[in-house]
Structure 1
């Protein structure tokens, strides 16, 4: 099991500290093109909650919690943030949920937070429908494997009808396979507890100017555009549309990095 006292992160660049919290199971796959660009303006600290990019992929992992990730992020900032300075934070997907929790509970040294497409479906009027969808994602994965589980999740996020694709691998995953694939770890250890999280919009509302909710322009009409929009309204946070869809960080890294930097730097909170 991952030792909760262990911290895994990478640091690159110069400038004010920008903590990046990836989505999925926290594995920073596909982030290099984004962080390379951001490192020209920020000291980019990429947090890896489970250490999956630091030699722990394949080791046992228990069910994850939003609080554990946000507390880990807080401890990372304690290690890298110079005395008297405050940090910027960017989180996407499950990492965006951790970023919301971090800001709500530990705002003291946070300057501005961008939460991109957090799957906080508990804020929605149809939360029960979305809970059932995520439960089905888990069941499909267990019964038919990663390809089928990912396909069911994709349909749910796009809010379109789904029928099982018989061309996909329908082999039940083994325990070893599950621990060596970050997406499988996400579906089994992260997706359920993170999507059950209810953001503290009352606390967030007390922090004007510090929160931005983001969603991809290609996500319009989809589930996570709805969650980002509604959390923005409930918390009083700004709303910004970013290039691409849910994985815009990988689809359009240059444009995404440019808009993210401008959004982070647009307001200075003392």
Structure 2
């Protein structure tokens, strides 16, 4: 029997208005058929993570599993409701705004985190010189890396404010929010090509260890698919997130449209 979890409500904030990805810019996003700049998908997933962390606490940050599919855009300033139902030990999550479904997902707490040897994922640096994206930018089977990134206490606190996270566990225990790992996954794409407007459409993330504030994080990512569908070019990644050069903190699959089709002229 399913049981309802208290809904989490936030006012969405577009953290990427000034980013290189102009899909977060109002004028550019409208060329692709949207009503304005998109709130980053990784931030929508961060909103979703509030409920499983509220339910399972640090255990979820150490071994939780979350999957998310971004159905429709979330826009800056919208009131977003994140609802969940629990059934058979798992949460079914829905994100709604203005009466429309914006994202769906699920979360669960495995009995233990899987063991993933670091050396099964090849460490490479990002490309020495980024080039404009094309259909050959992310070749299937290719390994990609990211520039190391860390969030000190000030930056980690600012991130919590950006994604409207109020759970005290991150500040009290000096833990990195797992949404930061999703940002690193986006960097796999950004650090290896000069992208035009692009869209994150879904992720699966198995947490392996709670990340700490100040950890130096990189992704070791393999391109598992690159294809065209309905005029869009998609890329799929399978990656291990590694802290401080040695500690696996998450296993992630990431799907993005790296070359979206533009909306037809009216």
The TM-score by the shorter chain falls in which range? under 0.3
Q: TM-score, normalised by structure 2?
A: 0.27
Q: TM-score, normalised by structure 1?
A: 0.27
Greater share of helix: 1
Greater share of strand: 2
